[in-house]
Amino acid sequence: MGTFKRKGHSRQVWKRLQTAGRRAENKVPDAFKNFSAGWFKSLKRGSDKDDNDGIDFWIETNLVSKPIALQIKSNYNDAQKARIKRPGISVVVVRVSDSDSDVRQKVYRAVTDFVKSSSSPS
């Protein structure tokens, strides 16, 4: 019998990668719990349909009038591929070892970069 392979990884390695991605994704709502700042309004987890479209969260800010789609990745290589594949979604790389303030800073940077790129003439 052959072994299960996905993206060149064994089943055991693939499971660890999925677990790391979920743990990184779960850090985001924890980082914004009881957080208040002038730019931040709310953070909502995406629906199942949103998840199929690559959207993990919707963040509402005072920087733009409509919510911004966020996709959380646990490594830079996957993040770069996601940015190319879905240019309308803001991609944030979150590591399990990041502190809450690191996560908020990364999200803020991604949101402001997204706002700048969407408001600049193409």
Residue 101 lies in a domain: yes
Indicate the number of domains in the chain.
1
Task: Check residue 1 and give its pLDDT.
Answer: 43
7 belongs to a structural domain: no
How would residue 115 be classed by pLDDT, with cut points 50, 70 and 90?
A: confident
Q: Residue 69 sits in which domain range?
A: 38-119
What percentage of residues in the chain have a pLDDT greater than 90?
A: 32
Q: Residue 20 domain-assigned?
A: no
**Which residues, 6+ apart, have CB-to-CB distance to 76 below 8 Å?**
93
Q: What is the pTM of this model?
A: 0.77
Residue 69 lies in a domain: yes
- Element counts in the chain: helices (H) and strands (E): 4, 4
> Looking at the domain assignment, is residue 27 inside a domain?
no
pLDDT at 7: 57
Judge whether residue 77 has pLDDT over 50: yes
Q: What is the pLDDT of residue 84?
A: 85
The answer to the question of residue 29 being in a domain is no
Query: For the chain, what is the radius of gyration of the CA atoms?
Result: 16
Residue 26 lies in a domain: no
Q: Closest by alpha carbon to 38, among 61, 10, 14, 68?
A: 61
122 or 35, which is more confident: 35
Q: Is the confidence at residue 44, as pLDDT, over 90? A: yes
Q: Kindly state whether residue 12 falls inside one of the protein's structural domains.
A: no
Chain segment 58-73, per-residue pLDDT in tens: 999 998 888 999 999 8
- Burial of 86 per CB tally in 10 Å (0-12, 13-18, 19+): middle
